[in-house]
């Protein structure tokens, strides 16, 4: 399969950056998207050129490192799929593919396709601790939790912090990420002692990081590789209002 890649190249945060075109004459349809970039980088290295920098780690759709804008869509055209799990059979012979980093002022470009997502870490850190009794592990059923609550908490906890929601949102909002991190504790008994203090701190930190505001475009939900619902944003907003009024 022959493909043309238009890849964003930016040598440093101070560099203006530009799109560079690369021809890929023999791409195997069974390759993952990152494997295809590996092949390109091997060729660039052999030719004495600088390889394309991009984030990756587990390559199993778990770590959230592999965030790329592919033809204007976060993680590419396949729904609920991370870039590392996207395969080249999703594209057609002769196609031109545009590859860019996450586009958000709160995710500054470090180099090429690599962005700094430490703003997400600071939001999570702002949430603080959870009060639990230390010691030996309790029995699995020691704390009764209803199935609906446990299912919802698990759905929220599947967030891998990739940043696709921010990159796709026209406002660059981080409400889906923050609400997922808030909700998976707010829905469980273990998260109740600090529930309102936690949401207030995390939302305030999100605002300090200068993410945009949510205006219900729902682009975040559409591109989330874990299918996290915008319903968690409503839960976060309710808890935040209670925290401010209490």
Tell me the domain boundaries of the chain.
3-110, 117-245
Number of helices (H) and strands (E), helices first, in the chain? 8, 7
- Yes or no: domain 117-245 corresponds to CATH 1.10.1060.10: yes
> What is the predicted pLDDT for the residue at 120?
98
- pLDDT given for residue 116 in this prediction: 98
pLDDT of 186-222, one tens digit each? 999 989 999 999 999 999 999 999 999 999 999 999 9
220 φ, ψ (degrees, to nearest 5) = -60, -50
Sorted by sequence, the CB contacts under 8 Å of residue 187 that are 6+ apart come out as: 149, 150, 152, 153, 156, 235
Name residues of the chain where pLDDT drops below 50: none
C-beta atoms surrounding 210 within 10 Å: 12
Q: What is the pLDDT of residue 136?
A: 80
Q: Rounded CA gap, 135 and 200, in Å?
A: 29
Fold of the 3-110 domain: Ubiquitin-like (UB roll) (3.10.20)
pLDDT at res. 76: 97
């Amino acid at each position: 399969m022959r493909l043309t890649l238009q890849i964003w190249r930016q040598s440093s945060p101070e560099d203006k950056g530009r799109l560079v075109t690369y021809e890929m004459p023999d791409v195997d349809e069974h390759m993952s998207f990152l494997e295809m970039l590996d092949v390109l980088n091997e060729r660039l290295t052999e030719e004495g050129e600088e390889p394309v920098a991009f984030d990756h780690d587990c390559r199993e759709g778990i770590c959230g490192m592999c965030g790329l804008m592919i033809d204007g869509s976060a993680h590419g055209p396949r729904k609920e799929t991370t870039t590392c799990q996207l395969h080249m059979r999703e594209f057609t012979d002769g196609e031109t593919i545009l590859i860019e980093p996450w586009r958000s002022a709160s995710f500054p470009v470090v180099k090429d396709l690599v962005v700094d997502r430490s703003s997400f870490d600071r939001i999570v850190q702002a949430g603080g601790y959870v009060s639990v009794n230390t010691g030996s592990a309790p029995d699995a059923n020691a704390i009764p939790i209803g199935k609906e609550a446990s299912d919802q908490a698990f759905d929220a906890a599947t967030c891998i912090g990739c940043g696709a929601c921010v990159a796709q949102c026209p406002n660059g909002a981080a409400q889906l990420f923050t609400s997922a991190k808030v909700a998976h504790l707010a829905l469980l008994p273990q998260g109740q002692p600090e529930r309102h203090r936690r949401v207030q701190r995390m939302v305030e930190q999100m605002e300090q990081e200068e993410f945009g505001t949510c205006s219900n475009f729902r682009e975040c939900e559409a591109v989330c590789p874990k299918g996290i619902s915008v319903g968690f944003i409503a839960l976060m907003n309710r808890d935040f209002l209670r925290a401010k009024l209490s």
